[in-house]
């Protein structure tokens, strides 16, 4: 996979590459929206680097500071943009099955080439990454992924048309149409392995292979306690009917970042993960009002996050 990946000494879930096919048969007929699936928030930020440019959708102040004080400001922006260190293939191997993909077209890019974005534009190219996912799926024919195409920074109608066309060409018969209720059994029997949600309603109406935007519970909080309170409030109001995401990712706005210039997403997140993972272990998948579905986080290799989320599916057996 494209992008920079340093040697990492991390413990990954050993069953991660084939955990769906290893689920008990009694779970194969449960809708994916009622299973517990681990997800990756801002999945592509591992390939941001010192050459990544600030998105034009960021504040004028941030763009100005990066332009005129680049050597000082850019490392700070970079630290506050990176939410993952594992490459996409490593995340797949670890067991991640939902990917938050923020897609962008750089303003100085004359071609139809698309990148990913999280404050900064990634070095990775969208089409290359989709081909990488396809190769992984061919080697793991019983695994299913949910790709959330979001953000659409700088895309016009031609870019959308190109992105949808290439997505359909690359995944072809593996794309699950939205007029079915996907279970593992039904997807396996039809050869489907990919659900693509697309955050542009106009495109969704034109293509049966695209699913509407998947709701994402985003707390916009800087501490685990605040985020857990937010999640519990959302649960009290009831879960959506279909696929949805509970994002246990902490967020620092510009004011918070300016007050923590030596900080980073990682420094903010790692101390909170033990508390957030305790919350994860208490959750239950299913169709009831207070049940969860996809849980997405940052630095997914830490604190047995993936294993804990997958393990919630054992509660169906009790």
The Cα–Cα gap between 314 and 301 comes to 21
Q: Give the three-class secondary structure for 149.
A: strand
CB contact at 8 A, 135 and 201: no
Please name every residue paired with 101 in a beta bridge, in sequence order, or none if there are none.
Answer: 149
Q: What residues contact 287, with CB distance under 8 A and at least 6 apart?
A: 31, 34
CA dist 48 and 218 (Å) reads 22
Burial class (CB in 10 A: 0-12, 13-18, 19+), 146: buried
Q: Which residues pair with 31 in a beta bridge?
A: 183
Sorted by sequence, the CB contacts under 8 Å of residue 91 that are 6+ apart come out as 40, 43, 84, 99, 300
Structure tokens at 90: 């490593």
- Give the closest residue to 146 by CA, choosing from 23, 277, 244: 244
Active-site annotation holder among 41, 105, 160, 162: 41
Q: What is the DSSP string of 45-66?
A: GGG--TTPPBPTTS-HHHHHHH
Q: How far apart are CA 314 and CA 290, in angstroms?
A: 17
Catalytic residue among 74, 105, 115, 118: 118
Cα(130)–Cα(169) distance, integer angstroms: 10
Q: Can you give the length of the chain in residues?
A: 318
> Is 140 known to be catalytic?
no
Annotation marks residue 159 as catalytic? no
* Residue 99, strand partner residues: 40, 147
Q: Which residues pair with 125 in a beta bridge?
A: 115
Q: Which residues are catalytic?
A: 41, 118
């Amino acid at each position: 996979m494209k992008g920079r990946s340093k040697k990492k000494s991390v413990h990954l879930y050993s069953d991660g590459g084939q955990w769906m096919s290893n689920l008990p048969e009694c779970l194969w007929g449960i809708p994916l929206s009622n299973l517990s699936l681990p997800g990756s928030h801002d999945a592509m930020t591992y390939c941001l680097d010192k050459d990544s440019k600030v998105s034009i959708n960021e504040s004028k102040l941030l763009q100005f500071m990066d332009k005129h004080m680049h050597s000082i400001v850019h490392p700070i922006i970079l630290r506050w943009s990176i939410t993952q260190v594992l490459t996409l293939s490593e995340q797949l191997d670890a067991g991640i099955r939902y990917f938050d993909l923020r897609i962008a077209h750089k303003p100085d890019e004359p071609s139809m080439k698309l990148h990913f974005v999280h404050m900064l534009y990634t070095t990775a190219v969208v089409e290359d990454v989709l081909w990488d996912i396809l190769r992984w799926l061919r080697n793991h024919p019983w695994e299913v992924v949910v790709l959330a195409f979001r953000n659409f920074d700088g895309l016009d109608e031609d870019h959308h048309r190109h992105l949808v066309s290439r997505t359909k060409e690359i995944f072809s018969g593996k794309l699950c149409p939205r007029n079915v209720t996907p279970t593992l059994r039904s997807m396996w029997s039809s050869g489907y392995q990919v659900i693509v949600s697309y955050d542009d309603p106009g495109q969704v109406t034109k293509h049966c292979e695209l699913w509407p935007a998947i709701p994402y519970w985003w707390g916009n909080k800087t501490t685990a306690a605040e985020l857990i309170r937010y999640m519990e409030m959302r649960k009290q109001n009831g879960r959506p009917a279909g696929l949805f995401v509970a994002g246990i990712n902490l967020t620092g706005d510009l004011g918070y970042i300016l007050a923590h210039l030596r900080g980073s997403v990682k420094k903010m997140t790692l101390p909170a993960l033990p508390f957030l993972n305790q919350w994860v272990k208490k959750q239950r998948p299913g169709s009831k009002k207070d049940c969860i579905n996809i849980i997405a986080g940052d630095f997914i290799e830490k604190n047995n996050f993936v294993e804990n989320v997958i393990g919630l599916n054992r509660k169906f057996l009790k």
